[in-house]
Amino acid sequence: MWALVKASNQRSVARAQIHLNLHRPSRAGVKSQQHCRYDKLIRAAVTREVIRNAMSNTAFSHTIAHTLIQGYGVEGQRHYVLYLLDDDEYRPVAMWPLLEYFLDMGRSRTAAWQRDTCRAVGLFVDYLKANQTHFRDSSSRPQVLACFAEALVTGTIDRNGDDPSGLYWQAKSLARANFLLNALTAFSDWLVNRYSTTAINPWKLASMAEQIAYWRRHEKRRSHALLMHTYDRNAALAQSRVVRSIRVKRRGAIGDAAPVKYFPDERIADLLQQGFTVSGKQRSRSVHERMNIRDIMITILLHGGGLRESEPFHLYVTDVAVDPRNPSSALVKVFHPEQGAAPEDYLDPLTGTQTEASREEYLRAKWGLEPRTLVVGRFHAGWKDLHLTDQKQKYALVHWFPSFWGEVFLALFKLYIMKIRSRHARHPYLFVSQKDEVAGDPYTVASYRQAHAKAVKRIDLTVGKDYGTTPHGHRHAYGQLLTNAKVDPQLIQRCLHHKSQESQQVYTNPTPATIAATLVEASERLNSPFALNDLQRALADGD
What digits encode the pLDDT tens for the residues 19-48? 323 223 333 333 333 333 334 444 434 455
Structure letter (DSSP) for residue 251: P
Peptide bond into 471 cis (omega under 30): no
pLDDT confidence of residue 267:
95
Q: In 325-395, where does DSSP find H-type helix?
A: 359-362
Structure letter (DSSP) for residue 170: P
Nearest to 311 by CA among 264, 373, 262: 373
Nearest to 332 by CA among 305, 293, 362, 363: 305
pLDDT confidence of residue 541:
66
**Are the CB atoms for 485 and 477 separated by under 8 Å?**
no
pLDDT confidence of residue 250:
63
- Cα angle 476, 480, 484 (rounded to 5 degrees) comes to 170
Q: Which residues pair with 432 in a beta bridge?
A: 442
Domain ranges of the chain: 13-195, 203-244, 265-484
Nearest to 112 by CA among 375, 311, 334: 375
Count Cα atoms within 13 angstroms, Cβ side, for 172.
Answer: 19
Peptide bond into 402 cis (omega under 30): yes
Q: Which residues pair with 91 in a beta bridge?
A: 86
Alpha-carbon gap, residue 366 to 352, rounded angstroms: 12
pLDDT confidence of residue 520:
64
Does the global pTM surpass 0.85? no
Q: Summarize pLDDT for 479-531 with one digit per residue, the tens.
A: 999 988 888 888 888 899 987 766 666 666 666 666 666 666 665 665 555 55
The class that CATH gives domain 265-484 is: mainly alpha
Task: Give whole-number Cα distances, 372 to 338, 390, 430, in Å.
Answer: 9, 21, 13
pLDDT confidence of residue 236:
73
pLDDT confidence of residue 24:
31
Q: Which amino acid is at 205?
A: L
pLDDT confidence of residue 238:
76
pLDDT confidence of residue 21:
30
pLDDT confidence of residue 13:
33
* Regions of the chain where pLDDT drops below 70: 1-60, 70-76, 87-90, 138-142, 210, 214, 218, 220-232, 249-260, 501-543
